[in-house]
Chain A
Amino acid sequence: MALTNYLVPALLLLAAASALRKRADVYGTLIEGGREGLKLTAAILPSLVMLLTALALLRESGALDALTRLLAPAAKAVGIPPETVPLLLVRPFSGSAALAVGAELMAVHGPESLIGRTAAVMLGSTETTFYTVSVYFSAAGIRKSRFAVPAALTADAAGFLAAAFFARLLP
């Protein structure tokens, strides 16, 4: 799609223009924000090292392939690439583990392969459900979570199915 080619520079320009209108120091703001990005990178590096090491162990031992084979029939039946099953399993529990599994899938199969794209769409359109639920409920002092978890997991399941479907439609 040609439109997405212009999206990024157009967004950057729009944000810069709106900040300029408020008489903000545009370049200084960019640099200040960029520093936050560097902090974010430094913050995720250790967990990526630990999780990608554990994932490499799982892959080289053959356990990851075995798990994929085991769940392949069920995944195929609902139209999800079997290779992305490990991603579905960790997504609701850990954001950094999901990022590591997604990175692994994209590195092995290529970012523009169907598997790589499906993994990217899954990562981009779902959240770390259990973490979010526990943060919200503990911060607000709620004892009974009622239907929050089943409804949130329904959203996740719908997201995974839709990701597999829409990734296929991408040009």
Chain B
Amino acid sequence: MAMTIIWMGMVAAAMIYAALHGTGAALSGAVAAGAKQAVELSLTMAGSLCLWSGFAALLRAGGLQRRLAALLSPLLGRIYPTAARDPETMESLCGNATANLLGLGNAATPLGIAAVRRMQALSGGRAATDEACRLIVMNTASIQLLPTTVAALRAGLGSASPFAILPAVWATSLLSVSAGLLAARVLQKWL
């Protein structure tokens, strides 16, 4: 539903603006150009996406995911002190954080949901617990070691070194997660 509103709003805004400013002549050309651009972009991204999906499969096969989870466990225990007392919650939490770091979004979501469900079941309330909110903040502020989709996009558009943005992405992610967790700490007293 949200997408319906966004898409219809975009098309309607373009039409109304063009009618008011007399730029309607360009619209039919824009439709063809936009569709063509999307297909070209998908084709040029396809190669990188295949490669990095293969890489993700290797990480799973090599057990690197599990080892990284063990490495993260002490840090996560400090962010989620209540959850740390329950091994089952902790396992989902570590799995969720690891999958996020490795850019395995499809693997991260079910694990994160399992962790939130367990947190809520243990607390027994219908309002989100402090730590459930913290987990959601961690998941909305993507912390990715390798932003492969963006790199694929950059490669597709002719960038010579698609991963050159990595240092900036890491610094930005770190800052945004810290800001989110800090805001959560402050707001949890009032909301």
Contact = CB atoms under 8 A, between A and B. Distances in A.
A4 B144 CA distance: 16
Most B CB atoms within 10 A — which of A112, A128, A159? A159
A127 B132 contact: no
Contact of A107 (B7, B27, B37, B162): B37
A83 interface: no
A143 B58 CA distance: 39
Contacts, number: 357
A45 to B, nearest CB: 4
Contacts of A133: 136, 140
Contacts of A142: 116, 120, 126-128, 132
Most B CB atoms within 10 A — which of A4, A24, A132, A136? A136
Interface residues of B, number: 100
B177 A155 contact: yes
B189 to A, nearest CB: 9
Given A53-B31, A137-B128, A155-B141, A4 B166 contact: yes
B186 to A, nearest CB: 9
Given A1-B167, A94-B6, A129-B140, A147 B14 contact: no
B46 A38 contact: yes
Contacts of B27: 57, 60-61
A11 B184 CA distance: 34
A113 B76 CA distance: 37
Interface string A38-56: 1011001100111111111
Nearest to B187: A147
B39 A166 contact: no
A32 B146 contact: no
A123 B45 CA distance: 15
Contacts of B163: 4, 7-8
11 contacts: A30-B55, A41-B42, A56-B33, A57-B10, A57-B15, A61-B15, A121-B165, A124-B151, A151-B184, A154-B179, A166-B167
**What 9 A-B pairs have minimum CB-CB distances, sorted nearest first?**
A33-B57, A155-B180, A18-B62, A56-B34, A37-B53, A124-B147, A159-B176, A158-B179, A53-B34
